[in-house]
């Protein structure tokens, strides 16, 4: 029996292409693992009314880790329109399977390292090395949303919230509410994860990203909780910044920052910005980490226009594989994989289109495999 069971979730579009590339490097590095395919994504929504079928949820309960490609998501109404005729009108609601997976398995850490590798023509500046910790289960992604506000809700809000009066005459079907829900526990554990990472890897500073001056209740709770946690890590510097200002300062001087921690939405935004500074979507890797399970993925989506063309850059996914190896405790293999990817980036002989080359997804993976 293999040492590890890994769920293999290609999903839609280029998710398939980049996971084929991941398999090439994993086979070469000879991880002692069994890879078990799981169905996820748009096709399963269309045909079964569920983009994250129960059998895939069962699979994830019985693996050590998972590698996920990407899925296609569409707005609610467009999603309903694409259901097979037998499923239409049954009141099925499309929700992103990756968001559901994060919540269902309590994968509360979204870890996004953004490291610039030498020789990458897409680097914004040389030697950027930022790490984003994004809270992954709550905040505006809690899924508590109304695109027609029920009368009960609006009556309660009229009673309890003065500012809601400004919306009292808006027709119910022209009013939408998405709830931002943050907890002390959720805030505490993501900030703690960021500080523990900083301690383990000798990072100098953790920056708390928020908008507590305006979004007082939820971001206020996040910031206050973060300050309490920081006291337990006196050797690590802490500062905080508003999300809007943060985007400017990060561009102005990325070297002033080190580890960033943020609630879900701001973390999503800031990690795309950081990923762009080290090469863009082809380089953004991500780990969704809980106590029992971790799911590793490139941050990009399914890029339908490139699906099946084996054109896109597999490095984001290969770096996600490195993160998985580290998480499994296979750090020697993880380091070797990162060094091989860094070598191929530096030499620049094999490059996908985004890096100015004409090589395929699989060419890149095979070139990296040569150094393993």
| Interaction site with Mg ion (CB under 5 A) | 268
Residue 322: closest CA among 29, 38, 55, 7: 29
Q: Based on CB atoms, which residue is closest to Mg ion, 119 or 143? A: 143
Q: Based on CB atoms, which residue is closest to ligand NAI, 108 or 195? A: 108
Q: Based on CB atoms, which residue is closest to Mg ion, 26 or 110? A: 110
We find the least distance from the C-beta atom of residue 9 to ligand NAI, in angstroms, to be: 10
We find the least distance from the C-beta atom of residue 239 to ligand NAI, in angstroms, to be: 29
Encode 174-211 in three state secondary structure: HCCEECCECCHHHHHHHHHHHHHHHHHCCCCEEEEEEC
Q: Which residues of 131-154 are buried (b: 16+ CB within 10 A; e: fewer)?
A: bbbbbbbbbbbbeeeeeebeeeeb
Catalytic option among 268, 310, 311, 333: 268
Judged by DSSP in three states, 263 sits in coil
Catalytic option among 115, 211, 322, 333: 211
Backbone phi and psi for residue 334, each to the nearest 5 degrees, phi listed first: -60, -45
We find the least distance from the C-beta atom of residue 355 to ligand NAI, in angstroms, to be: 9
Could you tell me whether strands 4-11 and 65-70 are parallel, antiparallel, or unpaired per DSSP bridges? parallel
Per-residue binder mask for ligand NAI (CB under 6 A), 346-365, x = binder: --------x-----------
Q: Is 268 an annotated catalytic residue? A: yes
CA separation (Å) from 176 to 74, 99, 207, 272, 367? 18, 20, 32, 26, 50
Per-residue binder mask for ligand NAI (CB under 6 A), 21-60, x = binder: ----------------------------------------
Count residues binding ligand NAI (CB under 6 A).
17
Q: Which of 72, 182, 187, 264 binds ligand NAI (CB under 6 A)?
A: 72
Q: Which stretch binds ligand NAI (CB under 6 A): 29-37, 154-162, 207-215, 299-307?
A: 299-307
Q: Based on CB atoms, which residue is closest to ligand NAI, 27 or 82? A: 82
| Beta pairing partners, 287 | 111, 296
We find the least distance from the C-beta atom of residue 119 to ligand NAI, in angstroms, to be: 17
Rg (CA), the chain: 21
User: CA torsion 226→231→237→243, rounded to 10°?
Assistant: 10
Per-residue binder mask for ligand NAI (CB under 6 A), 268-297, x = binder: -------------xx---------------
Q: Which of 6, 40, 51, 71 binds ligand NAI (CB under 6 A)?
A: 71
Q: Is 244 an annotated catalytic residue? A: yes
CA separation (Å) from 238 to 39, 134, 136, 197, 233? 42, 16, 21, 14, 9
We find the least distance from the C-beta atom of residue 11 to ligand NAI, in angstroms, to be: 6
Residue 102 Cα to chain centre, angstroms: 9
Residue 29: closest CA among 313, 298, 339, 337: 337
Backbone phi and psi for residue 243, each to the nearest 5 degrees, phi listed first: -55, -40
- Using CB distances below 5 to 8 A depending on partner kind, what does residue 268 bind out of ligand NAI, Mg ion, none? Mg ion
Alpha-carbon span 262 to 309, nearest angstrom = 36
Q: Which residue's Cβ lies closest to Mg ion?
A: 268
We find the least distance from the C-beta atom of residue 300 to Mg ion, in angstroms, to be: 8
Encode 126-150 in three state secondary structure: CCCEEEEEEECCCECCCCCEECCCC
Q: Based on CB atoms, which residue is closest to ligand NAI, 268 or 338? A: 268
**Would you please indicate which residues are annotated as catalytic (active-site) residues?**
141, 211, 244, 268
Q: Interface residues with ligand NAI (CB under 6 A)?
A: 70-73, 98, 281-282, 300-305, 312-313, 316, 354
């Amino acid at each position: 029996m293999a040492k590890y069971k890994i769920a293999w979730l290609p999903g839609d579009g280029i998710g398939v292409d980049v996971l084929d590339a991941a398999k090439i490097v994993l086979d070469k590095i000879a991880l002692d693992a069994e890879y078990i395919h799981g169905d996820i994504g748009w096709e399963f929504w269309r045909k079964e009314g569920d983009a994250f079928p129960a059998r895939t949820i069962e699979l994830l309960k019985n693996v050590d880790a998972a590698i996920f490609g990407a899925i296609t998501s569409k707005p609610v109404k467009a999603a309903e329109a694409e259901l097979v005729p037998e499923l239409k009108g049954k009141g099925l609601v499309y929700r992103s399977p990756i968001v559901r997976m994060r919540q269902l398995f309590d994968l509360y850490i979204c870890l996004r390292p953004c490291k610039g590798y030498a020789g990458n023509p897409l680097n914004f500046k040389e030697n950027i090395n930022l790490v984003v910790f994004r809270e992954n289960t709550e905040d505006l992604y809690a899924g508590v949303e109304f695109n027609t506000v029920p009368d009960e809700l609006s009556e309660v809000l009229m009673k309890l919230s003065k500012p809601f009066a400004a919306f009292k005459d808006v027709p119910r079907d022209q009013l939408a509410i998405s709830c931002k829900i943050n907890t002390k526990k959720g805030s505490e554990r993501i900030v703690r994860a960021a500080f523990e990472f900083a301690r383990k890897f000798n990072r100098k500073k953790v920056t708390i990203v928020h908008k507590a001056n305006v979004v007082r209740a939820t971001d206020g709770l996040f910031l206050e909780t973060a300050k309490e946690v920081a006291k337990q890590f006196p050797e690590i510097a802490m500062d905080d910044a508003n999300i809007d200002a943060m985007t400017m300062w990060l561009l102005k001087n990325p070297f002033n920052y080190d580890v960033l921690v943020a609630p879900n939405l701001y973390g999503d935004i800031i990690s795309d910005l950081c990923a762009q500074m080290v090469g863009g979507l082809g380089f953004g890797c991500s780990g969704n980490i809980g106590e029992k399970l971790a799911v590793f993925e490139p941050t990009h989506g399914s890029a339908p226009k490139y699906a099946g063309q084996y054109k896109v850059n597999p490095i984001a996914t290969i770096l996600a594989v490195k993160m998985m190896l580290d998480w499994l405790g296979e750090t020697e293999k993880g380091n070797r994989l990162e060094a091989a990817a860094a070598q191929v980036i530096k030499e620049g002989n094999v490059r996908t289109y985004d890096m100015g080359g004409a090589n395929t997804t699989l060419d890149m993976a095979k070139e990296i495999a040569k150094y393993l």
